Amino acid sequence: MIEGSCQTFVSDCNVRAAVELISHTWDPVVLTALRLGPTRRKDLLTRIAGVSDKALTEALRRVRAHGLVVKGPRALYELSPLGESFANGPLVHLAQWAADNADRMP
């Protein structure tokens, strides 16, 4: 971990930059769903229970704009190398932390 990189907690802190990548409700869910491999949009709609067509469209637009997801041949969405490192690294750890502490969260 990079100690002291945000001692003054300025607006351009690395933590803020990372959290911005998952600040919308469906973005981390989309990234997690894409960990299973390249997927068509209609299959993501089925895989992600509760997401609306509009919310999925907006989430895909955001994660693509952040460079976390690419749209490949045959309209398959997949994690970019950056997205893969994020989804399989910090996002997995965040999900595990949430699971470990679910009984203590409101």
Name the residue range of residue 30's domain. Answer: 15-99
Q: Does residue 104 fall inside a structural domain?
A: no
Q: Does residue 106 fall inside a structural domain?
A: no
**CATH number of the domain to which 41 belongs:** 1.10.10.10
Query: If we measure between CA atoms, which residue out of 86, 36, 79 comes closest to residue 95?
Result: 86
Q: Does residue 9 fall inside a structural domain?
A: no
Q: Does residue 2 fall inside a structural domain?
A: no
Residue 23: phi, psi to the nearest 5? -75, -15
The total domain count for the chain is 1
Q: Does residue 6 fall inside a structural domain?
A: no
- The pLDDT profile of the chain, 106 residues, written as one tens digit per residue, is 455 555 666 666 788 888 888 999 999 999 999 999 999 999 999 999 999 999 999 999 999 999 999 999 999 999 999 999 999 999 999 999 999 999 999 8
Q: Does residue 7 fall inside a structural domain?
A: no
